[in-house]
């Protein structure tokens, strides 16, 4: 059971959220590694590797459905932050802050889509592992088996 604002331990190959599904949290990675994936033409493409102090799910804060998937690559601790709380903070902020975040989110989404569509999986400076065919097959299976 997820308790907001409390560290939540998760095992390797845990789906935090899946592309096309609804999710209610933004996650702060306390420890471990998470890969953000996009599905395209039957393949999964890593678009970002996240580690300690990274936020996951920020680009989905304004929409109910996930535009990407997030899967842990090993034992990981995350801190779930309710999207509703983030939205409330934004609604009480000056309008320009909300507009700025929408602009940044849209630009990030364009970049994520470009990386996915062109299968750009070159080295990521913030991850020590490799995205091999075996890793892609394993992650595709994890996402396929995920029920939400």
89-134 pLDDT, tens digit per residue, is 777 888 887 777 767 766 766 665 666 565 555 555 555 677 888 9
Question: How much is the pTM?
Answer: 0.79
56-67 pLDDT, tens digit per residue, is 987 666 666 788
147: Cα within 13 Å, side-chain hemisphere = 0
8-126: which CATH topology? Jelly Rolls (2.60.120)
DSSP structural state of residue 14: -
The ranges assigned to domains in the chain are 8-126
15-30 pLDDT, tens digit per residue, is 999 999 988 899 999 9
């Amino acid at each position: 059971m997820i308790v907001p604002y409390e560290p939540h331990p998760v095992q390797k190959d845990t789906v935090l959220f899946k592309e096309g599904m609804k999710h209610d949290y933004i996650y702060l990675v306390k420890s471990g590694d998470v890969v953000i994936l996009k599905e395209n033409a039957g393949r999964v493409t890593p678009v970002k590797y996240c580690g300690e102090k990274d936020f996951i799910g920020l680009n989905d804060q304004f929409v109910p459905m996930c535009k990407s998937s997030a899967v842990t690559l090993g034992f990981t601790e995350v801190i779930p932050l309710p999207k509703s709380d983030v939205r409330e903070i934004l609604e009480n902020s000056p309008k320009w802050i909300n507009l700025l975040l929408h602009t940044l989110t849209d630009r990030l989404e364009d970049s994520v889509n470009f990386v996915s569509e062109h299968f750009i999986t070159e080295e990521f400076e913030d991850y020590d592992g490799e995205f091999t065919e075996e890793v892609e097959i394993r992650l595709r299976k994890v996402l396929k088996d995920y029920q939400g």
